[in-house]
Amino acid sequence: MTAYSLHDFCRELLADRSFDEKLEPEGLAAKFVDWFRVSRHPSLEELERLMHRASFGRVEARAMDTALRGAHFAVSGSSYLICYRSDLWRGAAEHTVLHEAFEIVCETLLDMQGRLPAPRTEATCKSADRFAAAVLMQPEVFAARARGCGLDVIALHREFGRSFASVTMRLAEVLDDPAFMAVLYETRYGRLHRDRKGQRTGGALRVSVVCSKPELESPQCLRGCEPILGMTPRNGSLAERAARTGRSLYAESEPSASEVTGFAAIARPVIWRRRLTKVIVVAVPYGQRECLSPQLSASSFEHLRIGMALSDSRGGRRRRARRWDEAFSLGALREEEIPSECPTDPAARSGRRRDGRGTPA
């Protein structure tokens, strides 16, 4: 293969009889990686060189409105100026460049077919995000690493340099086995408020991403109990306990008469600048708990048994959690109960996140 330009790539797509005009992001990303010989872990510098070499255009960091991460503009001839916001962290900048590249491919294809550019829609943006994630976290590489680290979202975030949300969603897109559920809780700092002492704190910890692969074996414990986007952790759940204590937790619930499958779950808090910003919960059926072993051996965990060690934070009352959905319960956790600092966590005292990186996700 000797041609590497944007137009050659688009002509190849149009000549392909299996070409789908809807531009399925995963398939297009695979073609893009193969055609332009993208490395397994593309850097911002590599993407800038690729955009220039393939005649997409020039890439620049610019001061932009905070509502935008990036944009592209047609300049001389068929070339573009691709911009990303100058204050973006590196992973977001790489994602933004590929997001804009997807939109440029769409526009070029329409132009080559003599059709007017289609208006940008939310669906187009979601497809562009999925395309960028698929190029930056290529299926074979990502799946092998995900299994090798025991579905460790923090380790994958560190290795691939992607946001926690992107990594969590990518797990569901790439992995066919084991069956699992992953839930990302995040505090949103867009709406800051002050606590009773006048200190500025973030908003409540809420579900921002839910993904699962229960359809493979259809275990009973994975049916109909997914947390809902925007909900806060329930008192006594693994997510709430991890948020309250700042410690990583591992819990098991053995199969029983009431819960045929059982489960094993990990909950890990993420501390950034001495504040709790996220809690990641990953769970698998009890019979597949060994797939979490690499993650358990790589970090320090407090081990619990569901029905014995989970307690209600109000009054210290002990309670039993017999079902999967109680460990992933929805409930309401008052905002003042989410700690703004976790002094028990070593990462909090150093002002760095558990994964050792100093940049926000």
Which domains, and CATH codes, for the chain?
6-136 (1.10.10), 139-350 (3.30.450.130)
Token representation of residue 20: 């789908």
What residues have CB less than 8 Å from 349, skipping those under 6 apart? 274, 343
pLDDT tens for 243-271 read 888 889 998 877 765 555 678 889 999 98
Note the pLDDT of residue 19. Answer: 67
Burial class (CB in 10 A: 0-12, 13-18, 19+), 18: exposed
Share of the chain above pLDDT 90, in %: 39
Average model confidence (pLDDT) across the chain: 76
Predicted structure pTM score? 0.75
Q: What is the pLDDT of residues 236-248, one digit of tens each?
A: 788 888 888 888 9
SS3 of 224, please? coil
pLDDT digits (tens, 9 = 90+) for 275-296: 889 999 998 888 888 999 999 8
Length of the chain: 361
Give the pLDDT score at 185. Answer: 93
Q: What is the DSSP letter of 311?
A: B
Predicted confidence (pLDDT) per residue in 58-87, tens digit: 999 999 888 889 999 888 767 899 999 999
What separation in angstroms does the CA of 117 have from each of 22, 55, 101, 108? 14, 19, 15, 9
What does each C-alpha distance from 249 to 156, 245, 307 come to in angstroms? 19, 10, 15
Question: Nearest 5 degrees, angle CA 196-CA 200-CA 201?
Answer: 90
Please report which helix (H) or strand (E) contains residue 297, including its range: helix 293-298
Helix (H), strand (E), coil (C) string for 226-259: CCCCCCCCCCCCHHHHHHHHCCCEEEEECCCCCC
Q: Which of 9, 15, 2 is nearest to 33 (CA)?
A: 9
Q: 267 forms bridges with which residues in the sheet?
A: 249, 281
